[in-house]
Amino acid sequence: MIELAPRHYHPETTTISGFSGQPVLIGAAVLVIIVLGIGSIALWRAYTGTSPELDRLASARQLQARTVQASEQLVEKTKGLEATQQESIDQLQVVQDQLQTVRRLLASQQADTRKLSEQVGSLTEAIDGLRQSFASAQATEPAAAPTTRKRSVRANAHGVRSQPIKSTNRKRSKSNG
């Protein structure tokens, strides 16, 4: 048979971490120290009137309130930004529509300008043709003009021509009207 404990074992002679004595006394001393520590903490809290748990709870509630307030502000600012962005988009679309309208008007004006330019060119060519034909007619007419053109004596004396009178009468009637 195997023996579990040596025969020379005496509980009074063995030391536990360098302490010798009664374990009951050590336990009682530790219990007294614990009770004194708890009592001093309770007295300190009662004397100062604050409790760390209550302070932590109050600060947690304040933090939650601030978080809720900040999130509400963010939601409001986000909605404001969305509205501003939509207004900007609408204004941009209006400006784009106006720009397209201006481009169309400019294109039609340019087309009208080209047409007028072509018409002025053709009128200039027609006037040049008329001038040339008038010049060639005058070059051939001076020899024949004194014999074919006869004025009345009365018209020559007054220096009146029939065409300027008609145009003068027209100018007068236009200014009267």
Q: Which residues pair with 101 in a beta bridge?
A: none
Cα gap 34→95, rounded to integer Å:
81
Output the CA–CA distances (angstroms, integers) from residue 168 to 14, 156, 162, in the order listed.
153, 19, 10
pTM over 0.75: no
For the cut 80, the answer to whether the pLDDT of residue 157 exceeds it is no
Only one residue has tokens 């010798």, namely: 20
- At 94-106, the pLDDT tens digits run 999 999 999 999 9
Only one residue has tokens 């020899």, namely: 143
For the cut 50, the answer to whether the pLDDT of residue 168 exceeds it is no
Element (H, E) at 103: helix 52-140
- At 44-101, the pLDDT tens digits run 877 777 667 777 888 899 999 999 999 999 999 999 999 999 999 999 999 999 999 9
Cα gap 83→75, rounded to integer Å:
12
Cα gap 115→107, rounded to integer Å:
12
Cα gap 165→177, rounded to integer Å:
18
> What tokens does 65 get?
């309130």
The greatest distance separating any two alpha carbons of the chain, rounded to the nearest whole angstrom, comes to: 183
- 159 dihedral zone (left: phi>0; alpha: psi -120 to 50; beta): left
Mean pLDDT lowest among 78-87, 116-125, 139-148, 159-168: 159-168
CB 161 within 8 A of CB 155: yes
Q: Coil, helix or strand for 6? A: coil
